[in-house]
Structure 1
Amino acid sequence: MPTKRMRSRPSRALATLAALSGFQLGSVEEATAGAWTLEKGRGLAIVSAGGSEARGAFGDNRRRAPVSGFRKAEIQVLAEYGITDRFTLRGRTEVRHLSFEARDGETGLGVSEIGGRFRLVQRGGVVASAEANLRIAEADPALDPGGAGLLAGEVEARLLAGYGFTIAGRDAFAEAQGAYRTAGGLTADEIRADLTLGIRARPDILLLAQSFSVVGLPEDGLEGFDQHKLQLSGVYDVTPAISVQAGGWSAVAGRNALDEHGLLAALWLKF
């Protein structure tokens, strides 16, 4: 998503955008993830697979313009475990394949992260938490030619708030997350905002509407950017311990960012 001198170096910009872009895999679990923490000794694992493509990008004027094609296929694994009722340990990793029309494709590990979420307060249906994550990935040669093969890190601080309620007798929840992510100047620092609305259409079906927004702050040599995505998905509880998810998402607005869309499927395992 971020780019250096995007307008003067479109091919390098696309490589940078593609390498750092990702699809949101809906890891929101009613009352057991997001702002909520897991009970002590309880765990959740989500294995997600998806694909995305982009044949356009939002320019500096926010208008869509064609770019050489880009496709991405990815498998992500997210795991969370309740250390105490108020603290949940979490980790995530991914394997991805990037395809470009103008250059060779790439296959390998994407971003891996480890962190924890601490519940600050819970009163009735309201919950608020704080989360910190360390994210590590192989340095991107498009951003740092001298760092090829080395690891690059990011630190993320996140605040989360959720509220559980009922609509027409159906269980529902709303959640908001805000985060600040920094990579020490290699890429632009990012401000992120995620919103989720979940409704139990049936006791075994959860419908999710989500938005994911990121704003990259301009720095020396780095242009600012932003991207905003909408995602719709459904989660079906096969058993109390096994659920499956399917959905799709699309970028709806942005600046210096890919105009991308994709599909996702996921398997949730509770233990």
Structure 2
Amino acid sequence: MRALVARRPSWKRPPYASGLAGFALGRPLFLLASILGLSPILAAPHHAHAGAWTLKEGAGQAILQTSLLHSNQEYGPDSRLYSSRPFDKTEISLLFEYGARDWLTLIAAPQFIHVKLGAPDSASYTGLGYVDAGVRTRLWQDENRVVSAQGILRLSGTGNASSAAAAGYENTEIDLRLLGGLSFSLWGRPSFLDVQLAQRFRFDDPPDEVHLDITLGIRTAPRWQMLIQSFNVVSEGAGKGPWYGVSHEYYKLQFGLAWQWRPNLTLQAAMVGTAYARNAPQENGLVLSAAYQF
């Protein structure tokens, strides 16, 4: 698909929040590329595992992640690119996971955000975003495969913020997902594939969404792992109000490297961009993470 930049159309785009990950690809090419994609969880340094796997009883990890995103274009109803009001977004999240049992992992993740919207109608918001709490439970596992289920309650921390920059972070959400993981050898290197299908219920004005996150991790060297990530979101129709009056969909790709700096500390850097979308901003940015196992 040839990306065209034109004047901003008259429709209202959905809010800028994308949750926790630009290339002008057509949808068929992007969906094919997504088969080699992944999700935003750091792989544990001792195993080529992520996402679907639960932690051992008594084990835990803390992941600090910072996303720096920018946009000055958006995809319209016809999925063509248009110039738009610029915005910059910083998301800082601190994810805690703890193995209550070998088959049950507890999850908590507060989020801090800074969003700045450019002219016209400049606005900004700095403060709490979402505060997540939930569990992941293992349903089945053998030597190389695992199937899990996860439920997360997402509570807004924006309070009574009246800024347009806080749109997308103001409504309670429930994220229910089924996760599958596969550990295998790719080109003679330890690898994993993690697939997550989610139903996200969004209360009040925003429409519910279906999420598909796919992860491929390849151990390229004893202390290095290559990560290719795909984040795919499709709304279930339109919502209500000025920010949610149209349905939306967006597909992001993220490419990164994880380095095991210490036996229990792994660092990751990645580039992320919106590959294709409809009624959504075209975001590009950098994601930095640090994972500590204890």
Above 0.5 in TM-score?
yes
**Does the residue aligned with 2:257 lie in a helix, a strand or coil?**
strand
Whether 1:92 and 2:115 are equivalent positions in the alignment is no
Whether 1:224 and 2:247 are equivalent positions in the alignment is yes
Question: What is the CA RMSD across the aligned residues, in angstroms?
Answer: 2.3
**Does the residue aligned with 2:207 lie in a helix, a strand or coil?**
coil
Gaps of 5+ in 1: 1-5
> TM (normalized to structure 1)?
0.88
Whether 1:26 and 2:49 are equivalent positions in the alignment is no
Whether 1:71 and 2:100 are equivalent positions in the alignment is no
Calculate percent identity across the aligned residue pairs.
Answer: 32
**Does the residue aligned with 2:172 lie in a helix, a strand or coil?**
strand
* Shift in Å, 1:170: 1.1
What residue number does 2:33 align with? none
Aligned counterparts of 1:205 and 1:84: Cα–Cα separation in 2 = 29
Aligned counterparts of 1:62 and 1:142: Cα–Cα separation in 2 = 27
Instruction: Give aligned pairs, total.
Output: 257
**Whose strand proportion is higher, 1 or 2?**
1
Please tell me whether the aligned partners of residues 217 and 223 of structure 1 are also in contact (alpha carbons under 8 angstroms): no
Query: Once structures 1 and 2 are overlaid, which stretch shifts more, 167-176 or 112-121?
Result: 167-176
What residue number does 1:176 align with? 195
Counterpart selection for 1:52 from 69, 81, 89: 69
What residue number does 1:251 align with? 274
Please tell me whether the aligned partners of residues 245 and 266 of structure 1 are also in contact (alpha carbons under 8 angstroms): yes
What residue number does 1:3 align with? none
Structure 1 residue ranges, 4+ long, deviating more than 6 angstroms after superposition: none
What residue number does 1:101 align with? 118
1:8-67, Cα deviation, whole Å (9 max, x unpaired): 464xx4xx522x234538224245540000000000111112210001011011111110
Matched residue type, 1:70 = F
Please tell me whether the aligned partners of residues 23 and 262 of structure 1 are also in contact (alpha carbons under 8 angstroms): no
Closer, same or farther: CA 60–151 of 1 in aligned 2, 3 Å: closer
Whether 1:17 and 2:34 are equivalent positions in the alignment is no
Structure 1 segment 253-268 matched on structure 2, within 5 A: 253-268=276-291
Structure 1 segment 94-133 matched on structure 2, within 5 A: 94-102=111-119, 103-133=122-152
What residue number does 2:261 align with? 238
> TM (normalized to structure 2)?
0.81
Matched residue type, 1:62 = S
Q: Which has the higher contact order (CA 8 A, sep 6+)?
A: 2
Please tell me whether the aligned partners of residues 95 and 107 of structure 2 are also in contact (alpha carbons under 8 angstroms): yes
What residue number does 1:166 align with? 185
* Shift in Å, 1:104: 2.6
Closer, same or farther: CA 231–57 of 1 in aligned 2, 3 Å: same
**Does the residue aligned with 1:111 lie in a helix, a strand or coil?**
strand
**Does the residue aligned with 1:238 lie in a helix, a strand or coil?**
strand
